Chain A
Amino acid sequence: MEVAVTKFSFTKATDANDAVLKASSLTNAAFIAGGTNLVDLMKENVARPGALVDINQLPLHTITETEEGGLMIGALVTNAATAYNPLVEKHYPLLSKAILAGASPQLRNMATAGGNLLQRTRCYYFYDTATACNKRNPGSGCPAINGFNRMHAILGASEACIAVHPSDMCIALAALNARIHVLGTGGTRTIGFNGFHRLPAETPEAENNLQPGELITAIELPAEDFSSHYQYIKVRDRSSYAFALVSVAVALQMDGNIIKEARLALGGVAHKPWRNPVVEEHLRNQQISAPLLQDAAEMMLAGARGYGHNNFKIELAKRVIIRAINEAAGIL
């Protein structure tokens, strides 16, 4: 049925609490900010919210320094405003680089920080209501597993879903140990980045650990300095306006040739930004070398599985990891 937007109500929230209240009380409600993903999904009849709660007028549009020396990015700051914010550029250039590798200028001008965290997978089957999809229609099956799965997951997938998270920004946020501030009917809470998104397991329809009605209010970046040694490499089928086949975010603290601290996150390979603390530990306090990086790449891809069209991602991811670490370290 390809052409469809079902009827929905539209209300503007007066403040954050009002937004949460409306989202909790209205049937099948969704927040709308930039709308760059939700509106597309509504046109495809994939998202069918009964109510849209407009949060654009909430005071969540600023980036401020925290007392600890980190940054607090309001949920409604656009991707473009985040990427070009002087504080972000100075202290978290990895985040700027990742954001600018995504989408197009037009989309980045509309898309918000909070919305970026919630964008849905680009799996072809998820988007086409003529096909089955456990994420869209739980229990209907996953045709991607035996179908066209070029863009799909090689890590952390399940029999129910092999979709990947499409964000670039989130890969950098994962590497930077960002924290997500949310507001619900029960008050505020903070979620560590790794605990925000979920692997598909048996419930691929649940993509994150937000409770119904909960609103992302801010993304906090901790006061850590990865501004000298970082890299974001995105490999894709065209130079712009394409989702990652594989992307790698690397943040290092170096002492000469010694890696003092390493963060490594992969995009385009799993249902969430993919990190492995064991690999980062393996790199810590080691002198950078080709065998070390090869080991790290192999370890990062341990347990990776291809589904046919995406087999190439396993080898590609290793190569991108090695180059990204080398470039972050300043060894080209």
Chain B
Amino acid sequence: MQTTFTGKPVNRVDGPVKVTGRAQYAAEFSTGQTLHGVIISSTVARGRITGIDESAAMQVKGVVTIFSHKNIPTLAWLNFSYWDLAAPPGKHFRYFQTDEIYFSQQPVAIVIAETFEIARHAAALVHITYETLPAETDVYASLHKARKPKGSRIGIKKPKSRGNFSKAFAASAVTVKAEYRHGAEHHNPMETMASTVIYQDGGKLVIYDKTQGVFNSQQYIRGIFNLKFKNIKVVSPYVGGAFGVALRPQYQLFAAVLAALQLKRSVKISLTRQQMFSLGHRPAIVQQLALGASADGLLQAISHTAIQETSRFEDYVQAVVNWSGMLYNCAHVQMDYKLVPLDINSPADMRAPGAASGVFALECAMDELAYQLSIDPLQLRLINYAEKDGVSGKAYSSKALKACYLQGADKFGWQQRNPLPRSVKKGNKLVGMGMATGIWDALSIPVRAKAVLNAQGKLTVTSATADIGTGTYTIMSQIAAETLGLPLDDVTFQLGDTDFPLAFVQGGSYTAASVGAAVQKVCLEIKQDVFKLAKRIKNSPFKQCSLNDVVFSDGYIQLAGNRSTSLSLASVMQQSKTDRLKNTATALPNALQQMRYALNTHSAVFVEVEVDEDFGTIKVTRVVSAVAAGRILNPKTARSQVMGGVVWGISMALQEESVTDHHYGRYINHSFAEYHIPVNADISNIEIIFVEEQDDIVNPLGVKGVGEIGVVGVAAAVVNAIYHATGKRIRQLPVTLDKLL
């Protein structure tokens, strides 16, 4: 492959339409006659609706109807019909179909009106009464009810212990035992969930949905409302951030489709910021870590137990403890993962689900062990460096973590660190440095893509994937342009439409690799097709040539040995009287090859903090994150991704928590005023280093994906830096200033 665009910091191709406001998001599509819906949420966490008085609301001029469990039609009865691609095992929730309340803010009614303002006003007039039952919402108070997860989830492996932990731990010279906690967090992308359902003649629905996967929304709606696939088109060209919250179809989609089908009208519904706290979340988790090491720092025993909240109706599982079996060389590893069902909504995948939590605990425990051993925390990681995945016993397809450690440490100035805690002071500020390791999967999934080359030599590539702000549009355009040797301006990549070839939800950091492979493959097909045409045209200079003899560059096919012998793609198309060349390809991961290796991304994160000695206020003054994620397609968009991940990690460490009032069983800080995420003033210098890996095994592009790795390990590095600054070991996130007073 020619390296015209790969590895280049190409600007976002969708940048201009976004910054000029021309990019349309789900709630911005409309027809003249669109009705507006407002959803009413339960005020209690557990109980039953005893009455819904709609009389005052229905008298408001412009109100069309109010849907609730009292009047919605009979829908699908099989649990499977409510399943979606990102659903955990369990009984999937049936919105608006029961008078029972399972969690606070459960959607209970939909007010439909001619305008948004009327719907919102009328919603305030609907009077709902509840029989309230005591709710359990506190995972810490219910740890004794922890049990094994039921069922399993695609892609989530059950933790596999090895060796004899108890014996090895007892025999260890130095040990650490500690418990780490963090509460619930909500994704809170800038764009709230929204669906605009356009009702067309004959009952066909065109749905503009905020989603990470248009086919997931389509199949969900199809199953529940017993529709035909051909009558549901889901479109989602732009997504204003998602982080996992738009993996599962959310209830505004259900509500808008229900209303549209019942009323035979177009309907639009958005959630409020407060209602975003009713959706799936990163679950509260309690983790117990026990590490045993020999006096020279070799890990002898690791035990990692996680107890995590889930809902009453689904067993949401994620890989929390598994990383502790992979990251370090250790013969005796015991891992356990349990759930506590509570009266809450099902948790959901949120950026680096499982790893953000599990690696936080492991990497804090490693730091504690380093101090116990009087070994530099970085040195301890190097001593226990794993060349193989300890769980599967497989070698890594590539693992440049050691280079990440060394390059990161060098850039950060780790060697200048005084190992003694609370040893560096700047005025009122205690200065500390901490580090941690990050790990995530390098997954790929099957994806289809289609390419069309027109008579002007312009290429359009489509696949039904998403761009949740990650840069999909840009990197796919780069891959397509490079494969066919076209200028970027001659390539258009389109996504987010069920009319496009199949791609599953965007998540798990597998989009760049999976969709990228499909785009490359279909463009290679087009390349062959157009070359065949080129050979056939009259007086073709390529009559005796094979594809290996030519180069595709700058919109031309050129003879490799003599670049001036060339034909433009446009002239090939025109001379061969071809209006368009099209092809579709499916890229399948090379499972046979991949199953012999462990496929992962890694990172080393270094953090400096300053802590006010008297006030406990914490400022992260510097971060260096060195990331090994295969080949980097676009260092600009990749850097943005990792930087965003680092900010997420700082946020997780210092600010974010959805606080539950257990009397009401309700998230009580459900607004951006009180649910804190960092502001610009909280974020200082973040340096990203990409340590490139040559990896022919992960996929033909050698790409591993960078969506999640940026956040993993950051919270631990911050907490470890706080310990180094203050001598105080905080084991519960977020580390707010009161914990340091």
Contacts and interface: CB of A to CB of B under 8 A. Distances in A.
Nearest to B661: A147
A199 B113 CA distance: 43
A292 interface: no
A143 B661 contact: yes
Contacts of A3: 38-41, 120, 123-124, 272, 274-275
Interface in A114-146: 122, 124-125, 127-131, 143, 146
Contact of A6 (B43, B121, B616): B121
For A122, A129, A130, A147, which residue has the most chain B Cβ atoms within 10 angstroms? A130
A235 interface: yes
Interface in A125-177: 125, 127-131, 143, 146-148, 150-151
B331 interface: no
A235 B124 contact: no
A315 B616 CA distance: 11
Contacts of B274: 2-3, 44
A240 B39 contact: no
Interface residues on B, range: 35 or more
Given A128-B670, A148-B659, A312-B741, A2 B275 contact: yes
Nearest to A243: B673
Contacts of B40: 1-3
Interface string A305-332: 0000000100110011001000000000
Contacts of A6: 121, 124-125
Interface in B623-681: 655, 659, 661, 663-664, 666, 668-671, 673-674, 676, 678-681
A39 interface: no
B682 interface: yes
A148 B664 CA distance: 11
A40 to B, nearest CB: 8
A5 interface: yes
A235 to B, nearest CB: 5
A264 B738 CA distance: 23
Given A3-B38, A237-B737, A45 B679 contact: no
B615 interface: yes
A148 B38 CA distance: 29
B730 interface: no
Contacts of B614: 319-320, 323
A4 interface: yes
Contacts of A243: 673
Interface string B409-451: 0000000000000000000100000000000000000000000
A273 B671 CA distance: 25
For A4, A6, A241, A245, which residue has the most chain B Cβ atoms within 10 angstroms? A4
B383 interface: no
Contacts, number: 113
A319 B274 CA distance: 35
Contacts of A150: 738
B41 to A, nearest CB: 5
Interface string B35-71: 0001111011000000000000000000000000000
Per DSSP, are chain B's interface residues mostly helix, strand or loop, or mixed? loop
B261 interface: no
B668 A239 contact: no
A3 B126 CA distance: 11
B736 interface: yes
For A5, A124, A323, which residue has the most chain B Cβ atoms within 10 angstroms? A124
A4 B655 CA distance: 29
Contacts of B659: 148
Contact of A237 (B43, B655, B664): B655
A44 B41 CA distance: 13
A44 B678 CA distance: 24
B117 interface: yes
B460 interface: no
Given A130-B43, A143-B663, A122 B673 contact: yes
Contacts of B105: 2
A235 B661 contact: no
A239 B680 CA distance: 8
Interface of A: 1-7, 44-45, 122, 124-125, 127-131, 143, 146-148, 150-151, 235, 237-243, 245, 312, 315-316, 319-320, 323
Interface of B: 38-41, 43-44, 104-105, 117, 120-121, 123-126, 128, 272, 274-275, 428, 614-617, 619, 655, 659, 661, 663-664, 666, 668-671, 673-674, 676, 678-682, 736-738, 741
23 contacts: A1-B40, A2-B41, A2-B274, A3-B38, A3-B274, A3-B275, A4-B124, A5-B117, A5-B121, A6-B125, A7-B121, A124-B669, A125-B661, A128-B670, A130-B666, A131-B661, A143-B664, A146-B663, A239-B682, A240-B679, A240-B680, A240-B681, A316-B615
Q: What 4 A-B pairs are tightest by C-beta distance, nearest first?
A: A4-B124, A130-B43, A239-B681, A312-B738
Given A2-B41, A235-B617, 5 more contacts: A2-B40, A4-B124, A148-B659, A320-B614, A320-B615
